[in-house]
Chain A
Amino acid sequence: MSESVIIDAVRSPIGMKNGEMVGIRPDDLTAQIIMSLFKRNKNIDPKEIEDLVLGCAFPEGPQGMLMAKGVSILAGIPETSGGAVINRFCGSSMDAVHQISRSIEAGDIQMGIAAGVEDMFSVPMGGFNPDFHPELAEQDYYIGMGETAEILAEEGNISREEQEHFSIESHKKALKAWENGHFGNEVVPIDMYGENIIEKDEGPRQPDLEKIKSLDPAFLEDGTITAATSSPISIGASAVLMCSRELAEKNDLSIRAFIKARSVVGVDWKQMGKGPIPATEKALKQAGMSMDDIDVIELNEAFAAQSIYVIENGNWDPSKVNLNGGALALGHPLGCSGSRIITTLVNVMEQKNSTNGIATMCIGSGQGITTILGRD
């Protein structure tokens, strides 16, 4: 069996509501990210890309019509390449990485791109035409994400103050990462149709404590979660270039990381935020590793309460988690986030010169997904 490796990984800056990135088409945005992969890796011929798998949580409207193939055409990949859109909600583009990885390991393809995108401004969460099943509604399957996090906050006895502290730390780490150039090799500039160039994330900012304290609960009248402790609605894209170890060695491509294990699990959808705990246990088991072997963790911060719950109940070492900040500061463009945290993980592992790292996230509908990366 062949091994799947990561040659390169990039992401766009993540744009916020009323920000400068609102207005770019999600397909154009993704095509720019993929083209930047080719620009950075001149020794790779686009015709070697056999498949493009693109994660997207609400693939309709501008994200519809099998966007992956459209993006492939826009990015100048020859028509001989395939394209698929994968939807696993928040885990969509981590699943895209898993799919490309599996295809390579199975020998179906030699080289492919896993990407993710979400424009939460042009396609509303829930889609344009929601049509809910009454019985599933009865079972709370369509429960709001904020409410699921409130349930975890209550179960884990996580106070509003703890959450606010966690969120502020996320912003501080992200700001510092920008300051120290830790996003330099990760984020590529986006051209807004010739009007301007966007180079930086719009989310991270110096916390305004007074404002944070003054916010009303966002989901429950007497709840603990506010806008400041929820990941913001945003737009962004990310892409991971992968191939088999043989191909990389044959063509003398430097390997930034390789896939050690993949996993998905299901959990109670009313507590979907728990997902990373069993998913990570499962992945570790598959890799024959324990948490002690792991140097760094990228945990998608859907909500501060959810992140704290996972770290505490998984007995994870908080000092290993999200060293460059997380989605609370950067934003969580649903379909983009999976390949985004894998991209960030690759960079963090290089910065820390670590051998083993984990990227994991919770998924609305009650799932968890984890990827374990290794470095040679």
Chain B
Amino acid sequence: MTFVINILSLGIPFSVALLIASLGEMFNQRAGIFNLGCEGMMAMGAFLGMLVPYLVGQGSYVPGYYNYLGLLLALAVGALLGLVFGVVVVTFRAPQGIAGIGMQMFGVGTAGTLFRHFIGGTQSVPGINVAPIPLLSDIPVLGVLFFNHNPLVYVAFLMVPSAWYLLFKTPWGLKVRAVGTHPRAADSIGIDVNKVRFQALMVGGALAGLAGAYLSLCQAKMFSDGIIAGRGFIAVALVYFGHWHPVKIMGGALLFTLAQALQLAIQGLGIDFPYEFLVMLPYVMVIIVLAFSRKSQITGPAALGKPFNREIRA
């Protein structure tokens, strides 16, 4: 029983960076923009997120609000990068896949450059620690599982119903889905397609930045080149896995990280089994689920990846 509780209680916080980044990517893709640059945006968020508390504290304790200032900076830079990406793929209608790769390289390279300039080598920060919720965290089993995490874990899981509400119950969400499904029809009823796509990209970018900051401020509590280590690409895959739906994306993120926690725990049990296969386990599970999903279920937004030009008939 303790074994299972440990896996569940670790899998939940492990999933947060993927969950936040995937929700951001979902908004991008729902609006018809395929953003492979998520990794680069996360890298910038990770660096700038820890930069504020690092510069203020230089490794010693800093008041908590500096960490939250770092989070805000990460959100802002993510939104800014979303805006820049929008200029490239929405305004100039560049091929989204290639532009995404460019954004990924730009973000990772810039974060590394700034890191070397401002910090130099790998440094840690006190970061944001676990904040047990009074009373609730004392509940047996449930308290450990759900109410004994750092504040961003709670925020991330509250984002799931919020994203669902925003996407499916608000006029803005309807516009996002419309421009991602049939931009010409949306345009014909007066929706400014490019404006909505810019907005979705800024929301997605901000969430990618926040996801990166979660890694550097809450999970690793340090920054170094390569901190994202492909998690941005996994976030993109999880959007497909979750069929562009917030709840299913959450399920995908949890499945991935619970598998991760499980394989780490199995390694520690001393079972005679090659660890290389265990390390592969989370990735294999995602591939298997994707492979067995019905094709009709994984049909994405119809206009995904297609630039919109109102002057040209599709």
Is chain B a partner of chain A in the same complex? no
Which B residues are within 8 Å of any A CB, using their own CB?
none
